[in-house]
Amino acid sequence: MSDPKQTSRRISKPKAKPALPAKAVGKALRARTPKPVDRATMTEIFRRFHAANPEPKGELDYTNPYTLLVAVTLSAQATDVGVNKATKNLFPVADTPRKMLDLGEEGLRQHIKTLNFFNTKARNVIAMAKRLVEEFGGEVPNSVEILETLPGVGRKTASVVVNIAFGDPRVAVDTHIFRVTNRLPLAITKTPLDTQVALEAIIPDEYRLHAHHWLILHGRYVCKARKPECWRCPVNDLCRYPDKTIP
């Protein structure tokens, strides 16, 4: 028979370890975050990207600056493959703002209904076409600042359009570029806009025009979010990411 005194005793739970103070956590994270690469290393990184792919191209299909603007606008929360499928039959009938207005919101909606948020996107694209016709003679302005005022167009979309359509060396930042920038790291940033400002200031002039494409393709196919393929990374020996999978 068990001892009543023993069975009545409370079983004490192990005490949880006290949480580290916020300052200590922040200090630990900062200690683990490497400093950005120096200018010589950055130049070498982009030299290798250039050597591997001298003329990188985006993966969205387009025929002129206007269809590029529409394609990039539609690509929000959608894959390039999905956008290309939607625009395959759209652009032959609506490759100018005037033709897009003639197609109308309902007609556009039928072409892009496979995309996320297609109702909102159709409304924005039609409103955008209206402004381009009424205020800019149906032409796409070569200005990030003006493009940002159009319905459905943000800094990233505007930067992509002026970079590809007009050769303006802007570095549009998406999740892939934000990740690669902070992993290598080319810069330590907290937001996409911070990242764009930093990259446009520090990337060597001779590589800035194509920097957007090199970084996005690298992030999409090599430096992936969950499992970076460091074994085939052309700059793995220059990368300071603490969790890369090879020394």
Establish how many alpha carbons lie within 13 A of residue 236's alpha carbon, considering only the half-sphere containing its beta carbon. Answer: 14
Catalytic: which of 13, 17, 27, 174? 174
Annotation says 174 is catalytic? yes
Separation between Cα atoms, residue 148 and residue 112, nearest integer Å? 22
- Cite the annotated binding site by residue number: 223, 230, 233, 239
CA distances from 53 to 87, 207, 212, 227, 234 (A): 27, 12, 13, 23, 11
| Torsion region of 200: left, alpha or beta (phi above 0 gives left; psi -120 to 50 gives alpha) | alpha
Catalytic: which of 38, 156, 224, 243? 156
Separation between Cα atoms, residue 166 and residue 66, nearest integer Å? 12
103, 87 Cβ separation under 8 angstroms: no
Count of residues making up the chain = 247
Separation between Cα atoms, residue 239 and residue 217, nearest integer Å? 17
Question: What angle in degrees, to the nearest 10, is found between the helix axes of 80-87 and 97-112?
Answer: 110
177, 210 Cβ separation under 8 angstroms: no
Whole-number CA gyration radius for the chain: 25
- Cite the annotated binding site for [4Fe-4S] cluster by residue number: 223, 230, 233, 239
Establish how many alpha carbons lie within 13 A of residue 244's alpha carbon, considering only the half-sphere containing its beta carbon. Answer: 25
Catalytic residues: 156, 174
